[in-house]
Amino acid sequence: MIQRFTVAALVLTIVALLRAAPALAEPYLAVQTGYKCSVCHVNPTGGGLRNDFGLTYAKVLLPAETVSNDLDAWTGKLTDRLRVGGDLRADWTRTTMPNSPSQQSFSLEQFRVYADLTILPDRLGIYVDEQIAPNGSLNEEAYVHYGSFTDGFYVKGGQFYLPFGWRLQDQTAFVRQVTGINMTTPDKGIEVGWEHSNWSAQFDLTNGAANANTGSGYQITTQVVYTKPIWRVGIAGSSTQSNAGDRHIGGLFAGLKTGPIGWLAEGDIVHDDSFPGGRTLAAALLEGDWRIIKGHNLKLTAEYSDPDRSVKNDQQTRYSIVYEYTPLPFLQLRAGYRHYFGIPQNNQQNQQLILMELHGYF
């Protein structure tokens, strides 16, 4: 009882300390509203810095309580040409595995800042996403962009996240781990994109993670998404040519709105020649997000991973339930439970996780 009381007191203390801080949009919000990613974010493939509408949504439509007047002046703009933002996540987790003692800890998951400098409106700009903590300064995205992110063609050059499937908040999701394309693995190169009406498309030519230290090979990644008010569907592919072994990925993903519930689904398959003799891997995700009332969301997720299609009975599944409460603009509290099921002799594949997280964004 004393241990539980201590944990609860610490969580409440962190809530009080972060009460003035803010939340990162997730793809389920796009599905629930029928918007494309570029409606709320500076980056057309989603995530990161919010534009004018994205900030208005975070102030008025997302939280349970709208704070009048106090936040009206905050637009994220330091000048007419420079917009800034940020994101902070602090969490507490308790992990239990068979035949092992439970482990629990507080951690600073991330603190990052964003900036977008407009040189020529709707034509030329520079974007930066810098992670400040927990492991020191680390550049995630830094690119120059030319063209319109809202309607027409554009080009990015520099370092950026690759477009592939759902840009999920949880980077440990099986579909993000198996593909190796997530928000912890930016790459350097160029991206040509097209935004028009219901369509979004990207074509990327980058170094490829396997070639980061060798300077040989390349990676091609492409994605096309068609969006309608209550549903959307996308297809993505990636091919890496490397001395370590070629890697080819294909994926399908879709979203559907049914009343207050937004559904996300994704299935990916990977053929990786870096393993002796080659290996085919697969992963899938199904997520339902129920907007119970304004500011309250219940997330249920079922996941599947097969690390080698040629081996029987080595599959792993994971089920999660997460409650997200957004009491005020730019502040979110998350709590959840996650259970892994894998081969019996692997304790880590059968772990249980309890998590609590405070998320501030601006």
What residue ranges define each of the domains in the chain, with the CATH number in brackets? Answer: 2-361 (2.40.160.10)
Q: What's the pLDDT score for residue 213?
A: 60
Q: Indicate whether 72 pLDDT > 50.
A: yes
Q: What is the pLDDT of residues 11-51, one digit of tens each?
A: 333 333 333 333 345 899 999 999 998 899 998 888 899 99
- Angle at alpha carbon of residue 224, lines to 219 and 225, rounded to 5°: 140
Task: Record the pTM.
Answer: 0.89
Please, which contacts does 319-322 make with residues 24 or more away whose CB atoms are closer than 8 Å?
322/298, 322/355
Tokens of 292: 């119970």
Residue 165 has pLDDT above 80, yes or no: yes
Which regions of 170-278 does DSSP assign to beta strands (E)? Answer: 187-196, 199-206, 218-227, 231-241, 247-258, 261-272
* Model pLDDT for residues 103-158, shown as the tens digit of each residue: 999 999 999 999 999 999 989 999 999 999 988 888 999 999 999 888 999 999 99
The long-range contacts involving 341-344, CB below 8 angstroms and separated by at least 24 positions, are 341/316, 341/317, 342/315, 342/316, 342/317, 343/313, 343/314, 343/316
Q: Are strands 247-258 and 331-341 parallel, antiparallel or unpaired?
A: unpaired
Res 218 pLDDT > 80? yes
Q: What's the mean pLDDT in 238-251?
A: 94
Is residue 184's pLDDT more than 60?
Answer: yes
CB 201 within 8 A of CB 227: no
